[in-house]
Amino acid sequence: MLGEARSKGAIATAIATCTHSCLRHLNQPGEPMTHPVSSFEFIVSGVLLAFVGVPLTAQTGPEVARAFREANEASILRDFSELLAYPNRARDTEDIRRTAAYIRDELLAVGVDSELLEIEGAPPIVYGELMVPGAVRTLGIYVHYDGQAVDPTNWTHPPFTPTLYTAAMEAGGQPRPFPEEGEAVDPEWRIYARSAGDDKAPIAAILPVLRAFREAGIVPTSNLIFFLDGEEEAGSPHLGEYMERWKDRLEDIDIWLFFDGPAHPSGRPQIVFGVRGSMGMEVTVYGATRNLHSGHYGNWAPDTGNILARLLASMKDDTGRVLIEGWYDTVEPIGEEERAALEGMPAWDEELKRELGLVRTEGEPEALPERLMVPALNVRGITSGNTGALARNVIPNTAVAALGIRLVKGNEPAHMRELVVDHIRRQGFHVVTEDPDMETRLLYPRIAKVTGEGGSSAARTSMANPFAQNIMGAANAAADRAFGPGSLVIAPGMGGTLPLRHFTEVAQKPVIIVPVANHDNNQHAPDENLRIANLWYAIDLYAALLTMPVTVF
Amino acid sequence: MLGEARSKGAIATAIATCTHSCLRHLNQPGEPMTHPVSSFEFIVSGVLLAFVGVPLTAQTGPEVARAFREANEASILRDFSELLAYPNRARDTEDIRRTAAYIRDELLAVGVDSELLEIEGAPPIVYGELMVPGAVRTLGIYVHYDGQAVDPTNWTHPPFTPTLYTAAMEAGGQPRPFPEEGEAVDPEWRIYARSAGDDKAPIAAILPVLRAFREAGIVPTSNLIFFLDGEEEAGSPHLGEYMERWKDRLEDIDIWLFFDGPAHPSGRPQIVFGVRGSMGMEVTVYGATRNLHSGHYGNWAPDTGNILARLLASMKDDTGRVLIEGWYDTVEPIGEEERAALEGMPAWDEELKRELGLVRTEGEPEALPERLMVPALNVRGITSGNTGALARNVIPNTAVAALGIRLVKGNEPAHMRELVVDHIRRQGFHVVTEDPDMETRLLYPRIAKVTGEGGSSAARTSMANPFAQNIMGAANAAADRAFGPGSLVIAPGMGGTLPLRHFTEVAQKPVIIVPVANHDNNQHAPDENLRIANLWYAIDLYAALLTMPVTVF
């Protein structure tokens, strides 16, 4: 399987082409090869660089994909629209299965050996593989084909009737027909439909890339394993079971690419090496056994709102520093690459503050990307009595705070929870896990019920990983072409949480998040949309990732 | 009009009896006088004691009323039941007018010159007068005949189908038929119906007293002006207008008696000399212009729940002491009588704490009655994001606290509001009264919207007032008879608020609150009820008040 080395510029580059026999995945039986290829070659040199794929033509993978896209823009939009018309809420069994079957068929049509994996009572996984003889690396590609629930009454158009606009609605865009074949497509157009951004866009982009490659006889430089989740928006409750049951198909994966999420808020594309973990807790403090009249008992009855306020105030100071003992102790320090990446990130805070109407943020002068490198404690909600027209003259018998905790690498959810509980105890509360009975109430002057189990750990892929560096290189090149030189934002971590536990904790694989959707895609909200330029970027990016040089280490 | 003094025991007592001509109010035309009286007499001596009424029979007013009640218990309950069957929500125009007309007719039937006063669009005032020739004092009697709204689905029986129980439902009482004439009535029975306690019981009690007096030829020692409100539960929006328009009928009133409210929580009867004022404020603090994802922005976006918590925590310490500058400065000190009354009040806190599941109250070791003598600041409600199943992964863009403020004598609502606003400013907030626009948001790191106007002042009638002391004496005697010696609780103030402004501030009259309902009457709630013993007490009490010795000062 070893072939001949070729050198391309300063970097030692090996190009592998594919025999007919290796193309079972790329061509449907009976279809003529548009670009027949005759052999493979690849190298494992002392420098440990191996490159597979990329035909012996003048055109690179991204060039081929771009040419294909430019020649087929109208039909790519039509295909996307067809995909978007499939209702895809995870719990709507019939709908989600139809969507899965449609995607499987589309993958088969572009040469991916695809099938539905099924566990009783769960939406299927759309599984696909495209094995490249000679490839020494395997990319896992995670996408989810299910979408958030919709309330059609809040949408301008029915959420599963994709509607093309000349620009974003907020920017004065107007609806227009889908273009005819050959008609020019404005990259500022937007397609409005549920899942346009989250997360059908990657599916709509990978299909034309694979079709273009197949037509041009290009094979990827890595094996590809597609694993398309059908219940991400429902918390992926069966993902672990799927990954366990079919683990033999996943064990060769070197790195997972998560095709999900939006661009950097600046609008620039990004690639993200980590996510924070997430954990919820809820604290209830108690006054009397029932709401008391604020006139008859005010100044005497425990003032639950004030008791809760003092507890919450004890947890974080005015600068945003969490005051819970040990809160920052387990944070795993970031490396040099991550520090450099943080420093290279766009100075976006001032713009974001202007957009959000803020003069001061928590932890200033530290910028947002840095603030995502430490665990966060926020009040997600407080409920006690009522306000506004519903306010009544009572001293509420309870006050409840929902805490949202975000973890970073090194934080263990159970440990962080214990820190919070210990802090509450130190504030003089007797901590319980159920509403206190009368006996308990009559024993302790201050009682707090603390609930909330589980939680997900943070994950972060080291930027020092050579394969990760190949991916960064490919993404950089695609971003340079689509958005201009140096446009790619390389983020050591994002603030949000993705269901990475099964990947990073159970299967112990690195994950890199490769978002393509415009930052203002309204994901999870009404009038979700994708900007066409972002779809074109996705096509470029995937073409680059599928044909990137592969460092063997 | 001056007559001859008579002495009765240690107290100089004057007894006035009534000529036929003065009895137009007591007897319907054509009815024979059962106890004809021929003259009046009263005294204004150097000691300034005047007594009117009380016939020259062996029986005192309370004795007459008690004998009448004992002879007519079944029919008194039937009459009460008839009254309770009238639906009486203030806004139900037809119903409330029917109720008013019924009560007017009942008052007329016992010799009160009664009519409906009417302002367009408001429930009528049932007005009544019983003028006693020779009387030198006039009692205003305030009752409200409207009731709280009902949701019949929460009631055991339909709220306007009065149902008799052998005891409180919670104590295992069972429904039973209303008694036949002559059948023994157990004073522990309860009548369940809306307004049984709040506030038709006083109407049901005053009617038999007046009937008994009329039959026995007893005239009250004071003139009586009845002023029955039909929209108290709706906040008495037209009461001021009514009192202004008919002020010539009210100007001679020396003191108002409020026949409203429940007994002391100990179950003992009480008489109350003051109410706290009430005032609501609402504080909204702002984060970003919209809810932000707690993952993407947590540690960076202002944490509105924490900001509000720190503000609220700054307002009151763990012992319940309000930390707002000047909060206690304007409190008018109580007098010796009030201090003595406070010390004489039942030590009820420990019992109440046991009932309410509390180990520690605000301001301990001060007891509840003392705590009602200082202004209170409570959190009536907090709203920010959501908790429980509705909690979402957001940093809410606002957090709102509704503050409930109770004022005592000396506190001026506008001044107290300004103290709160000043305090909020001192915590670093820019205070606004409308949601801030973008320009404002971008000028101030911390913004608080503070709303809430109006409010009612506290009122307190001095216990040194000699007429007040007559009233206390009568109430004491009635309570001694009904509940045992020394049972009356004399409270300088209650914690709640009554719509006294028009009485105490506008008309500048003293008010004393004379409750009769059992403390557990479920007022404002489903299954409202009156304990029969409390109705009997009301009859005794009113008979005593109507025939008390009157000090002229």
Q: Do A379 and B400 touch (CB under 8 A)?
A: no
C-alpha distance from A348 to closest chain B C-alpha (Å): 12
* E strand or H helix at A263: none
Please work out, in degrees rounded to the nearest 5, the angle formed at the alpha carbon of residue B90 by the alpha carbons of B88 and B92. Answer: 75
Q: Do A293 and B438 touch (CB under 8 A)?
A: no
Query: Is A388 within a domain?
Result: yes
**B493 and B522 fall within a common domain:** yes
Query: Is B427 within a domain?
Result: yes
Query: Is B356 within a domain?
Result: no
**B399 and B286 fall within a common domain:** yes
CA distance linking residue A463 with residue A167, whole number of Å: 36
A364 vs A57: which has the higher pLDDT? A364
Q: Do A495 and B296 touch (CB under 8 A)?
A: yes
CA distance linking residue A181 with residue A391, whole number of Å: 60
CA distance linking residue B370 with residue B352, whole number of Å: 15
Give the domain CATH number at A517: 3.40.630.10
Q: Do B497 and A295 touch (CB under 8 A)?
A: yes
pLDDT number for residue A553: 62
C-alpha distance from A261 to closest chain B C-alpha (Å): 11
Structure tokens at B270: 């009480």
Q: Do A298 and B406 touch (CB under 8 A)?
A: yes
* Chain A (177-236) residues lying within 8 Å, Cβ to Cβ, of chain B: none
CA distance linking residue A416 with residue A456, whole number of Å: 11
Give the domain CATH number at A424: 3.30.70.360
Burial of B253 (0-12, 13-18, 19+ CB in 10 A): buried
* Chain A (424-453) residues lying within 8 Å, Cβ to Cβ, of chain B: 436, 438, 441-446
**A262 and A336 fall within a common domain:** no
Chain A's closest residue to B349, CA to CA, is: A300
pLDDT number for residue A118: 97
pLDDT number for residue A193: 98
**B179 and B198 fall within a common domain:** yes
**B436 and B290 fall within a common domain:** yes
pLDDT digits (tens, 9 = 90+) for A160-214: 999 999 999 999 999 999 999 989 999 999 999 999 999 999 999 999 999 999 9
**B247 and B293 fall within a common domain:** no
Structure tokens at A384: 């006690």
Cis peptide leading into residue A159 (ω within 30°): no
pLDDT number for residue A58: 67
Query: Which amino acid belongs to residue A73?
Result: E
Residue A428 lies in domain: 278-344+371-451
pLDDT digits (tens, 9 = 90+) for B481-501: 999 999 999 999 988 877 788
Closest CA to B528 of B161, B186, B258, B240: B161
A508 interfacial to chain B (CB closer than 8 Å): no
Query: Considering only CB atoms, which chain A residues are within 8 Å of B301?
Result: 356, 358, 361-362, 378
Query: Considering only CB atoms, which chain A residues are within 8 Å of B394?
Result: 380, 404
For A348, A355, A357, B437, the CA distances from A351, given in Å and listed in that order, are: 5, 6, 10, 17
B374 interfacial to chain A (CB closer than 8 Å): yes
Q: Do A308 and B303 touch (CB under 8 A)?
A: no
Q: How many CB atoms lie under 10 A from the CB of residue A282?
A: 18
Overall average pLDDT of the A205-234 stretch: 96
Q: Do B306 and A371 touch (CB under 8 A)?
A: no
Chain B's closest residue to A351, CA to CA, is: B442
The SS3 assignment for B459 reads: strand
B247 interfacial to chain A (CB closer than 8 Å): no
B320 interfacial to chain A (CB closer than 8 Å): yes
Q: How many CB atoms lie under 10 A from the CB of residue B161?
A: 13
Q: What is the pTM assigned to this prediction?
A: 0.80
Q: How many CB pairs under 8 A join A and B?
A: 318
pLDDT number for residue B500: 84
The rounded percent of chain A whose pLDDT value lies above 70 is: 89
What's the helix, strand, coil split of chain A in %, to 5?
A: 30, 20, 50
Query: Considering only CB atoms, which chain B residues are within 8 Å of A288?
Result: 356-358
Name A37's bridge partners: none
Choosing from B392, B425, B451, the residue where a domain stops is: B451
* Dihedral sign for Cα atoms in the order A259, A262, A268, A273: negative
Chain B's closest residue to A498, CA to CA, is: B295
Structure tokens at B388: 């429980």
Choosing from A413, A432, A451, the residue where a domain stops is: A451
CA distance linking residue B159 with residue B153, whole number of Å: 10
Q: Do B382 and A308 touch (CB under 8 A)?
A: yes
The SS3 assignment for A399 reads: strand
**B536 and B420 fall within a common domain:** no
Overall average pLDDT of the A72-80 stretch: 98
Query: Which amino acid belongs to residue A28?
Result: Q
- The series of mean pLDDT values per 10 residues for chain B, 553 residues long, is 30 31 35 34 34 59 97 97 96 96 98 97 97 96 95 94 97 97 95 97 98 96 97 92 97 96 90 94 97 93 98 97 98 94 92 95 95 96 94 93 96 97 98 98 98 91 91 96 94 85 89 95 92 98 96 72
Mutation site for A-interface testing, chosen from B148, B306, B383, B429 by largest number of A Cβ within 10 Å: B306
Closest CA to A297 of A435, A205, A221, A395: A395
Residue A49 has pLDDT above 60, yes or no: no
**A130 and A215 fall within a common domain:** yes
Q: What are phi and psi of A303, to 5 degrees?
A: -95, 90
Query: Is B11 within a domain?
Result: no
Residue A47 has pLDDT above 60, yes or no: no
Largest Cα–Cα distance in chain B?
Answer: 91
A74 interfacial to chain B (CB closer than 8 Å): no
C-alpha distance from B78 to closest chain A C-alpha (Å): 33
Residue A274 has pLDDT above 60, yes or no: yes
> Where are the extended beta strands (E) located within A154-289?
163-165, 175-176, 190-192, 223-229, 255-258, 270-272, 274-275, 277-286
pLDDT number for residue B392: 86
Closest CA to B475 of B547, B529, B553, B552: B547
pLDDT number for residue A465: 86
Residue A30 has pLDDT above 50, yes or no: no
Q: Do B295 and A495 touch (CB under 8 A)?
A: yes
Q: Do A301 and B358 touch (CB under 8 A)?
A: yes
Chain A's closest residue to B498, CA to CA, is: A295
Query: Is B360 within a domain?
Result: no
Q: Do B401 and A387 touch (CB under 8 A)?
A: yes
DSSP sequence for A459-498: EE--TT-HHHHHHHHHHHHHHHHHH-TT--EEES-BSS--
C-alpha distance from A291 to closest chain B C-alpha (Å): 10
The rounded percent of chain A whose pLDDT value lies above 90 is: 79
C-alpha distance from B283 to closest chain A C-alpha (Å): 10
**B159 and B116 fall within a common domain:** yes
**B429 and B500 fall within a common domain:** no
Q: Do B381 and A371 touch (CB under 8 A)?
A: no
Query: Is B194 within a domain?
Result: yes
Query: Is A432 within a domain?
Result: yes
Q: Contact at 8 Å (CB) between A259 and A541?
A: no
* Chain B (384-423) residues lying within 8 Å, Cβ to Cβ, of chain A: 384-388, 390-396, 399-402, 404, 406
Q: Do A379 and B496 touch (CB under 8 A)?
A: no
Q: Do B298 and A376 touch (CB under 8 A)?
A: yes
B315 interfacial to chain A (CB closer than 8 Å): yes
pLDDT digits (tens, 9 = 90+) for A470-479: 999 999 999 9
C-alpha distance from B418 to closest chain A C-alpha (Å): 20
Mean of pLDDT over chain A = 89
User: Over the Cα atoms of chain B, what is R_g?
Assistant: 26
Query: Domains in chain B: how many in total?
Result: 2
Tokens 């694993």 found at: A227
The SS3 assignment for A246 reads: coil
pLDDT number for residue B36: 33
**B188 and B291 fall within a common domain:** no
Q: Contact at 8 Å (CB) between A509 and A253?
A: yes
Q: Do B395 and A374 touch (CB under 8 A)?
A: no
* Chain A (517-546) residues lying within 8 Å, Cβ to Cβ, of chain B: none
Choosing from A451, A482, A506, the residue where a domain stops is: A451
B497 interfacial to chain A (CB closer than 8 Å): yes
**A443 and A377 fall within a common domain:** yes
* E strand or H helix at A378: strand A376-385
Name B116's bridge partners: B126
Is the predicted ipTM greater than 0.85, yes or no? no
Q: Do A290 and B404 touch (CB under 8 A)?
A: no
Q: Do B320 and A312 touch (CB under 8 A)?
A: no
pLDDT number for residue A392: 86
Q: Do B294 and A380 touch (CB under 8 A)?
A: yes
Query: Is B112 within a domain?
Result: yes
